[in-house]
Amino acid sequence: MGNYSSLFTDVSDDKEDDSIGNPVFEGYQILFVDDEKNVLNSLKRVFRQENYRILTAVDGEEALEILGREKCQLMISDYMMPKMDGAELLREVKKNYPDMIRIMLTGHADMNAVLAAVRDGAVYKFILKPWNDDDIRVTVALALEQYDLIQNNKILIKQNKEKSEEISSLAKLAVTNRSQLAIMLHKRNLLNEKQVQELYKQQQVNKEPIFKIILERDWVSEDKIRNILRKDLMVEEVSLDEIQVDASVASLIPHSLCKQQSVLPIRESNRRLTLVMADPMDMGLIDDLSFTTGLEIQAVMANVSDIKKKIAEIYGQDDSSFTEIETLIGLADPFEGIEVLIEDDDDISIEELLHGTDEPPAIRLVNAIIIEAIRLRASDIHIQPRTKSVMVRYRIDGVLHDKIQVPHSMHMSLVARIKVMAELDITERRRPQDGRITVKTPMRIVDLRISSLPTISGEKIVMRILDRNSSVLKMERLSMSDMNLKKITNVACRPQGLILATGPTGSGKTTTLYSMLQHEATPEKNYVTIEDPVEYYMDMAGQVMIKDKIGLDFSSVLRAILRQDPDVILLGEIRDYETAEVALNAALTGHLVYSTLHTNSGVATIARLFDLGLKPFVLASALEAIIAQRLVRKICEDCSESVSVDSDVLYKLGPVFQSSKIETCKGKGCPKCNNTGYSGRVAIYEVLIPSEKMRHLISSGASIHEITNLVNEEGMVTLIEDAHDKVSMGLTTIEEVFRVLGPQVID
């Protein structure tokens, strides 16, 4: 019988055997540990179609015994087990097999113990019982992908270390014996023949520049050498404190060579490179660098100490006054798992994009900033240069917080690193630029939307964080009132029409639309989304990301999509008349269209659509619903307490809050909420469903005042009224409502 099984597994006849004659499995091996055999059988059933070899153990001791003889890439362990619980087992596995990915499976575990294991790094992720089969398959696939990335990263680190040692050796070999400095000093009777011979001998043995050996032996002072070079040989001397070196220029010569030879490129113009040298008489080095860079070298000089100081400033150096930065980018780099994925570009190679920017301080700092933002659940990162330092600020639950202080000396390298990651022009500092980065961390994959802005203090960078792993919320979890939930549930079932979510940037509009999109999703319909960028990933939908650089804008993609036989379309944003017109026409011709608009309320949305130039009768026919919304911070459940009402804020919030007695709560601050009193956010809504009477007013071009009066007559719950209900339920505070909605009209 032929070895047909090898077509379906990784075990074949030509593979090596282990010491006892068993075939070695070359695929992924996964170990499941649980004291309940039915759970083990269920887990094996989940992965029966995957090309994994499954091993099982009923307790921690058996698991450790298996790991002693089998190499596994991933282990899933239950928490509640006899003898040794899951947390203890995973800590032991981390100690003995640190490369293995460790996942905890728990249904009623002690959360303190679980979180302690997570903090210790013993747990990659934990999964709750009962699990979803698709979710656990995806989790394991991502975990194994992370395992491969870690292994590849270790190989790259090893190769990088070998290359660094090789470059360092080459840098020593680059030391030439063609410097005329020793001969010049000998002619001026500052060095005798014996000293000159000793210089050349030491240079051959130690591979050190002649200038450095002279200063170390203290045979001639540096000031005296500088005076001779300046007065007799007319060598130009520069003040490095007054010179700003561009990162692209600094990258022309390797950092290790600059340190070894005490040289620094400072300016490039018309194919001429201005090079600061401690020894401008080293003609061999000048010839070598001219050949390497392909540029004509203009040598100038500066003191060795000034050159070293400038090299440290450009390539980064720890500053004792910034202890937080030292923690983040110290030698023990805790963020080496981060991987930046740059989209392929046919015109620019990745090597060119990364040339001259792979210096550890800048890389570690950027990685640390991103990892910390993800850990704190920030939605935006602001890198803002100020007078005395550069402040890194995180927007957490809609509010900016100052978190990290960076010295000005690192600002240029920090910005350059981010620009290269986002494929921006690092030499352009006068104009705003936009880009994207995809970052893979040990826990998740996030997309960063990058914006640079020139300010009087330097370039400001803002990064918007979009989590690829974030799941779409069910409509029941949108914190809508029962009445509003019934309204939008009914609207989501309609076969055609235009549904708009409105509000400022970051108010949760896309989250609401995706929840509605997925509510009645079936394989019988064709779903297409057009976004900039894609915020949620939905397998059932064809998702298109806008790329303005190549002319792939909303209106052109929307026209193309209409030829793809769609049933439901999610349009990221209506920005102009052209896009709005195509969206309305699609809504009128049998498609259900979801989109967003930046307006303050439902009625203001109608006014905005009129301003875009849409025909009133077309709008009246196509519009099915307008959902205006905001996000307010949610009171931390662990430290919530009743407080007295602030009468001044109550007065500013208008008649809705003044006309009723209301009990308010507030978080006093605890470790869970980082002492802010808030944890997470909750949405407030205003749902406008056009009635027949309202459609008549819209089609006749009625004024906004008339439409507003009709809305009030029909009893629509406004944003301020929904906010009042959320405060009464103890979900948020009146101060938070005032921050988001501002003062209301007081009669």
What is the domain-level CATH number for residue 50? 3.40.50.2300
Contacts of 406 (CB under 8 A, 6+ apart): 322, 325, 365, 383, 389, 390, 391, 392, 414
Nearest to 107 by CA among 133, 79, 84: 79
What is the DSSP secondary structure assignment for residue 17, as one 8-state letter?
Answer: B
Cis peptide before 533 (omega within 30 of 0): yes
Please state, in angstroms and rounded to a whole number, the distance separating the CA atoms of residues 536 and 527: 14
The answer to whether the CB of 625 falls within 8 A of the CB of 688 is: yes
Tokens of 238: 């520069």
Place of tokens 């400038």: 310
304 domain residue, yes or no: yes
Say yes or no: 542 and 598 in one domain. Answer: yes
> Which residue from 417, 468, 472 is spatially nearest to 447, judged by alpha carbons?
468
> How much is the CA Rg of the chain, to the nearest whole Å?
33
Measure Cα distances from 617 to 314, 573, 578, 594, 613 in Å: 62, 22, 17, 20, 12
Query: Mean pLDDT for each 10-residue chunk of the chain (747 residues)?
Result: 39 42 65 88 85 88 90 87 82 86 71 59 72 81 82 78 58 55 81 79 69 81 85 83 78 78 84 85 81 82 86 62 42 45 43 43 78 85 90 90 85 86 81 85 76 91 82 83 90 91 89 86 88 79 79 82 88 88 89 91 90 89 93 90 84 81 84 85 92 91 88 90 90 90 77
Angle between the 210-217 and 222-231 helix axes, to the nearest 10 degrees? 130
Contact 31, 58 (CB under 8 A): no
Q: What is the DSSP letter of 179?
A: B
CB contact at 8 A, 568 and 517? yes
Tally the residues of the chain: 747
- pLDDT for the residue 164: 61
Quote the tokens at residue 687: 């749902």
Q: Which long-range contacts (CB under 8 A, 24 or more apart) does 348-351 make?
A: 348/423
Do 570 and 709 belong together in one domain? yes
Instruction: Give the Å distances, CA to CA, from 652 to 637, 666, 737.
Output: 27, 19, 11
**Tokens in use for 463?**
């990064």
Q: Do 518 and 604 belong together in one domain? A: yes
Q: How far apart are CA 75 and CA 28, in angstroms?
A: 11
Dist CA 421 CA 350 (whole Å)? 10
- Domain of 328, CATH number, reads 3.30.450.90
Burial 265-291 (b: 16+ CB within 10 A, else e): bbbbeeeebbbbbbbbbbeebbebbee
Q: Which two tokens stand for residue 605?
A: 């949305």
Residue 658 lies in a domain: no
Tell whether 575 and 698 lie within a shared domain.
yes
| Cα 610 to Cα 318: distance, rounded to the nearest angstrom | 57
Residue 455 in domain: yes
CA atoms of 418 and 430, how far apart (whole Å): 16
Alpha-carbon span 21 to 26, nearest angstrom: 15
572 and 697 housed in the same domain: yes
- Listed residues 261, 296, 315: the one ending a domain: 315
One domain for residues 553 and 694:
yes
Residue 141 lies in a domain: yes
Any domain includes 291: yes
Count structural domains, the chain: 4
Same domain, 371 and 458: yes
- 461 and 480, same domain (yes or no): no
Confidence (pLDDT) at 684: 93
Tell me the angle at which helices 210-217 and 193-206 cross, rounded to the nearest 10 degrees. Answer: 120
Within a domain: residue 498? yes
Write down the pLDDT at residue 350.
35
* Boundary (domain end) residue, out of 467, 484, 507: 467
Q: How many helices (H) and strands (E) does the chain have?
A: 29, 24
In a domain, 626, yes or no: yes
**Distance (Å, whole) CA 492 – CA 525:** 14
CB 367 within 8 Å of CB 385 = no
Give the contacts of 228 (CB within 8 A, at least 6 positions apart).
Answer: 184, 185, 188
Contact (CB, 8 A) for 385 and 396: no
Note down the domain range covering 396: 323-467
* 337 and 454 co-located in one domain: yes
Of 289, 315, 341, the residue at which a domain comes to its end is: 315
Q: What is the pLDDT of residue 115?
A: 60
Same-domain status, 628 and 495:
yes
The answer to whether residue 373 sits within a structural domain is yes
DSSP H helices, 396-452, are 411-421
Helical H segments across 251-316, by residue range: 255-261, 283-293, 304-315
pTM of the entire structure?
Answer: 0.53
Cα 477 to Cα 471: distance, rounded to the nearest angstrom: 12
Do 456 and 507 lie in a common domain? no
Say what the pLDDT of residue 452 is: 93
Do 533 and 480 reside in the same domain of the chain?
Answer: yes
Which pLDDT does position 468 carry in this prediction? Answer: 67
